[in-house]
């Protein structure tokens, strides 16, 4: 291949609101386009990433389409996070054998084979590593001439204020690029306090006039009593008996200690899910205020800057769709580390005349 002298241009498959793209941009990678089937992703992707958004099923994306989007003369990066619900830890025990989403990683592999980009990166849930579809994807990459590295990455080690693990893969036609280790250690992990303490105080069901996304879901009267009886890092066992739900009184309730619970100020947050705005679905209570975390707080804990825009000004703030967009996003901090590793390796190769 010719010598690379104009940086890296990336196309983001399954781009969502742009978490992966935002991280790559932070590292210095130019993102030229993103594909997603969800029209709600158009505004946040175009507004924050300033790149073309194509509302399209990846199964209909063609080789010619991608080749027209990459910048001529650049190192071409194909990136993406195929929807991973069949492998989610929240779906253990369910039959996912007929999931349509199993084929999306195969489509990613198809596009790699057809376009042979210089670089490929993928992010997903760690459990996918033992699946036949992931092993087939890796085999496709190797058979196409790529050197492949992948590992489970722990979010706090990359500056993410959240206990989240993700599988990250980097494949290269220009020599092995190892998935980087994180630079943070336990005594320097980013915490809930570090990133959301300064946000304006709001009540249950309230919103900040200056930032409509800083809005919390209304709590029922019983849940207001429950959160008032909760301490940071505690469980429902801290409540008086009359506040406990029937499920807590059953033996199986002992396994759900992290629902109806508050976060702790001086630790990373729990994994931010698509329902992180709901006090009853996890440890999503604010450490101090009597409410669940707001959508803005969920986005910040997912690694987005406070200024990241998810909906057009004046649009209604709907918890379910916006929560889904935030919870499904790739944490930008991990993507930024990947982008830096790629650029460092390519710069070394260019200096040595190997690219």
Active-site residues: which are they? Answer: 84
Residue 180, burial from CB neighbour count under 10 angstroms (0-12, 13-18, 19+): buried
Name the β-bridge partners of 215.
207
Of 69, 79, 70, 80, whose CA–CA distance to 4 is shortest? Answer: 70
Residue entry with tokens 């990846």 = 58
- Other CB atoms within a 10 A radius of the CB of residue 269 amount to 30
What SS3 state is found at 246? helix
As a whole number of angstroms, the distance between CA 169 and CA 35 comes to: 19
Which H or E run includes 67?
A: helix 63-69
343 contacts: CB under 8 Å, gap ≥ 6: 7, 8, 27, 28, 29
Cα Rg of the chain (Å, integer): 21
């Amino acid at each position: 291949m010719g010598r690379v002298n104009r940086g890296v241009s990336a196309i983001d498959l399954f781009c969502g609101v742009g978490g992966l793209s935002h991280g790559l941009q932070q590292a210095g990678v130019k993102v030229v386009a993103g594909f997603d089937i969800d029209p709600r992703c158009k505004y946040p992707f175009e507004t924050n990433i300033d790149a073309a958004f194509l509302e399209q099923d990846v199964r209909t994306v063609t080789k010619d389409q991608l080749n027209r989007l990459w910048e001529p003369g650049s190192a071409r990066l194909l990136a993406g996070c195929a929807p991973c619900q069949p492998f989610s830890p929240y779906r253990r025990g369910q039959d996912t054998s007929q999931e349509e989403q199993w084929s999306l990683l195969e489509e990613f592999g198809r596009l790699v084979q057809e376009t042979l980009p210089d670089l490929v990166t993928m992010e997903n849930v760690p459990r996918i590593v033992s699946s036949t579809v992931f092993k087939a994807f890796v085999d496709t990459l190797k058979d196409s001439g790529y050197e492949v590295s992948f590992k489970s990455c722990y979010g706090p080690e990359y500056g993410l204020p959240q206990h989240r693990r993700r599988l990250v893969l980097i494949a290269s036609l220009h020599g092995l690029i190892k998935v980087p280790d994180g630079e943070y250690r336990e005594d320097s992990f980013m915490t809930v306090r570090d990133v959301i303490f300064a946000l304006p105080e709001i009540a249950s069901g309230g919103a900040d006039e200056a930032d409509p996304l800083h809005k919390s879901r209304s709590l029922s009267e019983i849940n207001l009593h429950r959160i008032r009886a909760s301490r940071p890092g505690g469980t429902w066992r801290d409540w008086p008996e009359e506040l406990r739900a029937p499920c807590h009184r059953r033996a199986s309730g002992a396994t759900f200690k992290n629902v109806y619970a508050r976060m702790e100020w001086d630790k990373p947050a729990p994994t931010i899910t698509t329902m992180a705005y709901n006090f009853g679905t996890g440890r999503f209570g604010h450490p101090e205020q009597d409410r669940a975390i707001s959508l803005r707080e969920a986005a910040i804990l997912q690694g987005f800057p406070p200024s990241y825009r998810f909906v057009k000004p004046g649009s209604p703030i709907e918890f379910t769709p916006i929560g889904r967009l935030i919870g499904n996003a790739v944490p930008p901090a991990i993507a930024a580390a990947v982008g830096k590793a790629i650029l460092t390796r390519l710069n070394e190769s260019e200096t040595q005349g190997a690219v």
